[in-house]
Every structure is written in C-alpha cells, then in structure tokens.
C-alpha cells in the first residue's frame, strides 16, 4: 500500500498550491487512482518565520504544531513543508512527531550536487533563511560551493517575495536581471530558488538561466518516499 503525504502549508498559500500542483504533475500516473493521497493543512495564520528568527516576532511553532497535529490525525506517512524558512524550526516539530519530515533543504542540496557537480550555486531566499545559515549548512554538507546575495541583492529578493505574497503579478524583469548579473560576476553558475515564492516569480518573469527548484525537489522526494513513481525528465 502506498503512503500518504501530509503538507504543512499556508506559508504562503500560493506556495502550498504550487507544491500540490507539482506533486500531481510529477507523479507518473495513468489514471486518478495511480496518484498518491495528499492531506493539506494550509494554515495562513502561522506567524511570519523571518520576523520570528530575526526580529523576535511571534513564535510560529504553536500554529505549526496545530497543523501538524491535524495531519497526523489524518494518517500522513510523511510531512513536508513548502517553506524554506520554516525549516529553521524543523527539529522542534520532529520532536512532536513520530512521522518522518522530509527536509526540503537537504534534498535540494543533494540534487545540486548531482545536477551541477563542481559548479557554484547562487542561493536565493528570505533574509531569515540565509542569515540563519540553513542553506549554507545543507550545501556544505553536500559539498556544493555557493555564493550569497549582497545586501542590495537581498533587498531585491525580499521585495519580490513579499509582492508575490501580496498577490501581485510581476512584469518588470529588470531588478531580477540585475541581481542575477551581479551574482554571476561573483561566481554563481546557477541559482537555488530557496523561497517557495521564487519558483512563482521565475514562472512570471521567465529569466534565462539554470535554476534548482526546492519545491519540485520536495515533491519528488515525497512521491518517492510514499512509493509513487516520478515522471522521467
């Protein structure tokens, strides 16, 4: 019997929908019944993770645990979170559950090592994700060289991320193009979309370049964990 996926979502809702869409599209299925069962708790009331990490904002863990409890009651075989920054709190959540969490950053780092051996990743993400060292630790463990945005580039990312969270459809590619050019000069060969709004931004702006999408890597890992088949590329 195949396993079931529990999505601890709402961080944000569009990113949660993007993960579910990718699970469906990436599953090698000939009919409805070939797909995996997926439970989703999209709790948009979970407090901002970056503010909690950097500004002593409201602790998101109680709301995250409430959503986790719902998924456990549903019978999820594994838990995934479509929010890179939320993985700062993953150990607290794992302590509350016997069901495995699949770490988005770990599977992304391993994918980078496989797809781009010896090449340097440019890491994009929220300020909370990057300043907390979440990706730095995961990439160093996987032996992946990387560069981070400078302060101006990070501000560009945060502006784009929060505009998408606010429902805006982006059309001006210039800020992102400038960021990419600067990071290419700093040594980046490709880019990790280390915030779950970033794949949506890339879909809207369609910049040229090579990207690794952690949302897609999380979908791939969850499908395989639960005994499903991933469509060949």
Question: What is the set of active-site residues?
Answer: 83, 195
Query: At 155, which helix (H) or strand (E)?
Result: helix 151-165
Nearest-angstrom CA–CA distance, 189 and 185: 9
- Does the bond joining 12 to the residue before it have cis omega, within 30 degrees of 0? yes
Which residues lie below 8 Å from residue 148, measured CB to CB, with a gap of 6+?
Answer: 122, 123, 130, 136, 154
With 0-12 CB in 10 A as exposed, 13-18 as middle and 19+ as buried, what is 17? middle
Nearest CA to 197 among 171, 152, 166, 175? 166
Other CB atoms within 10 Å distance of the CB of residue 33: 6
Tell me the three state secondary structure of residue 132: coil
Residues 69 and 50: their CA atoms lie apart, in Å, by 23
């Amino acid at each position: 019997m195949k396993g079931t996926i529990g999505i601890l979502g709402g961080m944000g809702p569009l990113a949660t929908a993007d993960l579910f869409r990718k699970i469906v599209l990436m599953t090698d299925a000939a009919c409805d019944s070939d797909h995996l069962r997926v439970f989703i708790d999209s709790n948009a009331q979970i407090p901002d993770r970056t503010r909690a990490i950097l500004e002593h904002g409201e602790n998101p863990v109680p709301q995250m645990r409430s959503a986790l409890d719902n998924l456990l009651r549903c019978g999820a075989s594994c838990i995934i979170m479509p929010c890179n920054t939320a993985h700062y709190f993953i150990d607290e959540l794992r302590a509350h559950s016997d069901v495995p969490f699949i770490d988005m950053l770990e599977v992304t780092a391993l994918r980078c090592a496989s797809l781009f051996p010896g090449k340097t990743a440019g890491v994009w993400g929220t300020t909370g994700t990057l300043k907390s060292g979440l990706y730095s630790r995961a990439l160093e463990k996987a032996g992946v060289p990387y560069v981070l945005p400078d302060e101006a580039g990070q501000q560009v990312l945060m502006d784009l991320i929060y505009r998408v969270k606010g429902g805006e459809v982006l059309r001006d590619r210039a800020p992102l193009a400038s960021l990419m050019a600067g990071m290419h000069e700093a040594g980046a060969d490709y880019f990790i979309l280390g915030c779950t709004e970033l794949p949506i931004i890339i879909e809207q702006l369609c910049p040229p370049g090579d990207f690794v999408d952690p949302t897609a890597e999380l979908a791939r890992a969850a499908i395989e964990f639960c005994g499903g088949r991933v469509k060949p590329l």
